[in-house]
Amino acid sequence: MGALGAVLAPFAEMAASPLFLAEVLIGGVAAGLLYALVALGFVLIFKASGVFNFAQGVMVLFAALTLVGLMDRGVPALLALALTIAVMILLAFAIERVVLRPLVNQAPIILFMATIGLTFFLEGFGEMVWGANVKRLDVGIPDTSFKVAGLLVNRLELAAALTAAVLVTVLAIFFQKTRIGRALRAVADDHEAALSIGIPLKTIWVVVWSVSGLVALAAGIMWGAKSGVQFSLSLIALKALPVLILGGFTSVPGAIVGGIMIGIGEKVAEVYWGPLVGGAIENWFAYVMALGFLLVRPQGLFGERIIERV
């Protein structure tokens, strides 16, 4: 009874303090949007090239490092941003040329391992160029809170959430409305069909890796502004992975909704149940949550019923 009571107690807590709950939920949504942003990077690349890009996390770090590094060297913020974008696009070209093209038609697991290799390389490279110490990234928005209808809202988190929301919308439009976006969707379903549209696979890969790089940059800026640009940034990729189980490797809406769900779930669990088990459960809770969800709904969030053919 005691153990069960301890497990159930947080519900009473929630009911007792709805305002706090709301704050927790808002925090969860904000974190969730960031997860969604990182997850989007995965989804874009996976959808277009079938590559499980483990380097997405290190791309976040690398983008943020580059931006901060440039700003530290006195480059104006906007120019630094433009330069970083250029660097990320250049990186996409380099990856396509050096890693993807020679490995075309290899088994997905080989490509996956190659992206882990890429992770090592970028980590070493980033640190070599920009140094290994923690850097502050000032985006001009103070990390302070204000009250709205009795709720404590963090300015930075709000800005991050808004940016994420805007980015997600832009990407959705990009996929729905532009020619290349449609080609990207097609390529995910059928490589040959995509080729018949007339866009070379090579171009598609460069585009998705560039877009993923930009998404990584956005995530890097927001995360970096919040907790400083440091090595641990590359680990947020791991946080985005449960989102992929939940939302699917190829679903853009899945990544967004999944991200928010994971963000909220994780925050709630951390705040209300974490103390019961000594805390620090955010490392694994998201995974367990995603798995639990799968047991109930095997096809995931937006997956259709799977009909396998023989």
Check binding of 127 to other proteins (CB under 8 A).
yes
User: Closest distance between other proteins and the C-beta of residue 112, in Å?
Assistant: 7
Q: Which of 24-32, 163-171, 198-206, 277-285 is the region at the interface with other proteins (rule: CB under 8 A)?
A: 277-285
Q: Of 94-113, which residues contact other proteins (CB under 8 A)? A: 98-99, 102-103, 106-110, 112-113
The count of C-alpha atoms lying within 13 angstroms of the C-alpha of 133, restricted to the half-sphere facing its C-beta, is 3
Written as six digits, the tokens of 164 are: 């994420």
Interface with other proteins (CB under 8 A), residue total 61
The Cα 190–Cα 187 span in angstroms is 5
Applying CB under 8 A, among 73, 128, 147, 150 the residue interacting with other proteins is 128
Using the rule CB under 8 A, which residue among 17, 178, 196, 299 binds other proteins?
299
Determine, following the binding rule CB under 8 A, whether residue 223 of this chain makes contact with other proteins.
Answer: no
- Residue 207 CA to residue 96 CA, distance in Å, equals 10
Site string for other proteins, 169-208 (x = CB under 8 A): -------------------xx-------------------
Does 308 help bind other proteins (rule: CB under 8 A)? Answer: yes
Among 21, 87, 172, 238, binds other proteins (CB under 8 A): 238
HSE at residue 279, side-chain half, CA atoms within 13 A, is 0
Closer of 34 and 244 to other proteins (Cβ): 244
CB of 155 to other proteins, least distance (A): 31
Element (H, E) at 145: strand 145-148
The DSSP code for 104 is T
Residue 275 DSSP code: G
- Evaluate whether 33 touches 240 at the Cβ level (below 8 Å): no
Query: Is 66 a residue that touches other proteins (CB under 8 A)?
Result: no
**90 lines the binding site for other proteins (CB under 8 A):** no
- CA-closest candidate to residue 28, choices 264, 239, 257, 282: 264
Residues in a beta bridge with 120: none
- Phi, psi torsion values for 103, nearest 5 degrees: -105, 10
Cβ atoms of 64 and 127 closer than 8 Å = no
The region, left, alpha or beta by phi > 0 then psi within -120 to 50, assigned to residue 74 is: left
Choice between 79 and 94, CB closer to other proteins = 94
Q: Does 114 bind other proteins (CB under 8 A)?
A: yes
Contact 183, 199 (CB under 8 A): yes
Q: Which positions lie near other proteins, rule CB under 8 A?
A: 50, 52, 98-99, 102-103, 106-110, 112-114, 116-125, 127-128, 132, 188-189, 238, 241-242, 244-245, 248-251, 277-278, 280-281, 283-284, 287-288, 290-291, 294-295, 298-300, 303-310
